[in-house]
Amino acid sequence: MNGLKFLDEKIIALRNEMREQEKHELAQKEAALQQELEPQQENQQTSQQVDLTQDFVKINELNIPVISQSVLKGNMIIRMPKLFSIMAKELASLKYPSERRPNVIYTDETSTINLALNLTDYPLRESEVVDFQENMIEVLEQAHPSAKWLDTGMMEVQGKTIAFIEVITPAIDGEIFNLMFFAALDGQTLIGTFNCMEGDLETWRPIAKAMVETLQFPSNDKNGVRKA
């Protein structure tokens, strides 16, 4: 009997140990999941704090005026901090050596924070924006297999579908954060690209997203076709 009692006690102790181990593993998994969610929650909170419909935006503890820019022959309006100017042609030729460089390129005084807007000849309708985004994701995955993907998604701005991609890609002088966005404009494909060094990501990622959210298309209907 004593032997059986001892065995029962060992089994009970083993079960209790297993339960404690399971609780420990579960706690570790919950902690790891919380660590993954916290940066996303912080990014969402940060994005919500940036409102470029206001007259000023705080960047690195400075209140910077926000202005509206009419671009692409008046087909689009975008609001941005008053830190950007049109990139000089000589610099644009160096940074974008292809003759198919974007129609409009804005840059800051350091030339490290850039916004390029390009209305291509590629035809695109509202219903095709999602497919175009998927094709661009495939192209980027092939061109940059080591890229760090942050987010992809869709947003509706003034009734128009805007697809976007957030990704960090390698470059000669460091890692580059890219926010790319796509829309149908005047029956053609609008491609916008905001980029900055990865070290500036925390400051500029929410501002870049906020700029996209201010887009206006005064001369086009929802399907990206010019109004008569």
- pLDDT tens for 4-13 read 555 566 566 6
Look at residue 228 and tell me whether its pLDDT is greater than 50: no
- Domain range for residue 175? 52-213
Strand pairing category for 174-185 and 104-107: unpaired
What secondary structure, in 3-state letters, does 34-47 show?
A: HHHHHHHHHHHHHH
Amino acid letter, residue 90: E
Assess contact for 74 and 50: CB atoms under 8 A. Answer: no
Specify the length of the chain in residues.
228
Q: How far is residue 176 CA from its own chain's centroid?
A: 12
Of the pLDDT bands very low, low, confident and very high (cuts 50, 70, 90), residue 78 is very high
User: Quick one: pLDDT at residue 97?
Assistant: 78
pLDDT above 70 coverage of the chain, percent: 75
pLDDT at 48 over 90: no
Instruction: Return mean pLDDT, the chain.
Output: 85
The count of C-alpha atoms lying within 13 angstroms of the C-alpha of 2, restricted to the half-sphere facing its C-beta, is: 0
* pLDDT for residue 121 is more than 50: yes
Mean of pLDDT values over 101-118: 95
148-157 β-sheet, strand order: 85-86, 104-107, 114-123, 188-197, 174-185, 160-171, 148-157
At 172 the pLDDT is 87
pLDDT in the model for residue 45: 44
State how many domains the chain has. Answer: 2
Would you tell me how many other CB atoms lie within 10 Å of the CB of residue 73? 10
pLDDT at 14 over 50: yes
Is residue 58 situated within a structural domain?
Answer: yes
Q: Is residue 158 part of a domain?
A: yes
pLDDT confidence of residue 109:
95
Whole-angstrom distance between the N-terminal and C-terminal Cα of the chain? 97
Identify the pLDDT of residue 101.
87
What's the whole-number mean pLDDT along residues 74-85?
A: 96
Summarize pLDDT for 125-167 with one digit per residue, the tens: 999 999 999 999 999 999 999 999 999 999 999 889 999 999 9
| CATH classification at residue 134 | 3.40.1000.10
Of all residues in the chain, the percent with pLDDT exceeding 90 is 67
The tens digit of pLDDT for each residue in 161-203 reads: 999 999 999 988 899 999 999 999 989 999 999 999 999 999 9
pTM, 2 dp:
0.76
Which H/E stretch holds residue 91? helix 89-95
59 with 106, same domain: the answer is yes
Q: Say if residue 184 is in the same domain as residue 77.
A: yes
Residues 30, 67: one domain? no
Residue 226 lies in a domain: no
Same domain for 70 and 136, yes or no, is: yes
Residues 42 and 99 in one domain: no
DSSP-assigned beta bridge partners for residue 63: 58
Cβ atoms of residues 166 and 179 within 8 Å = yes
Place 46 in a pLDDT band, splitting at 50, 70 and 90. very low
